[in-house]
Amino acid sequence: MLKMIEVVGTSDQSWAAAAKAAVERLVAAGEKVHFFVLLEDRGTVKAGKVEFQAIVKVAVET
């Protein structure tokens, strides 16, 4: 069985890198990821630097 969870990834490089970071963080935590969907791209500026943010919905094995 799969469950869907939403996670946010960040990067100072790109939205693609932010999405990848979100999924890789789950894999590193031991989650069995099956697929993911990019829900939203957004960004912010912190201390004068751009931060890319990606909201990703991920299917993980329960």
pLDDT tens sequence across 23-54:
999 999 999 999 999 999 999 999 999 999 99
- Cα–Cα dist 3/21, whole Å: 20
Prediction pTM value: 0.90
Residue range 2-61, CATH number: 3.30.1660.10
- Cα–Cα dist 52/44, whole Å: 7
> What H or E segment, with its residue span, contains residue 32?
none
What pLDDT shows up at residue 18? 98
Is 52 in contact with 17 (CB distance < 8 Å)?
yes
